[in-house]
Amino acid sequence: MQRQRGLTLLELLVVLAIIGLSVAAVSLSLRDSHQTQLEREAQRLVAVLEAARAQSRSSGIALIWQVTPEGFVIRPTQTPSPLTTRQETWLNLGTQAVVNAQTHSDNPTTAANVVVLGPEPILAPTRITLRSAATTLHIGTNGLQAFQVVP
């Protein structure tokens, strides 16, 4: 009796199943979750706020960060100004931001979702809530420290 060479149908199906499961696992691990996308958005916003804060301190002109439906805008408080208005869109569609600023008398204010980044080194304590899908993150400062992602 001669022994045949090659694969049986069962062996071929097992190999294809293993390859299919491997490809599915890799594609799921590479896909960005809503949490990862929002964390990336929060880190970007922290960098933008700190850059605007530094620009305000170096120029002596206060800047306003304001939420828009598509993203946010950073504009000088005075017009005309040597500083230009900068408009940014969110990296991910569906991202929303809400500002929870506190004045020095500890009364919460949410006037038009605005953060004033003045040339003085101390800001009002501020917290910005970012939402995307069912995920929420907070960015904040106590007024002295830099903006950062807070629990």
Q: Which residues of the chain have pLDDT under 50?
A: 103-110
pLDDT at 100: 85
pLDDT at 28: 80
Residue count of the chain: 151
pLDDT at 126: 93
Nearest to 58 by CA among 118, 3, 131, 104: 118
**Contact of 144 with 122, CB cutoff 8 Å:** yes
∠ CA 148-62-129, nearest 5°, is 30
**Contact of 55 with 75, CB cutoff 8 Å:** no
pLDDT at 110: 43
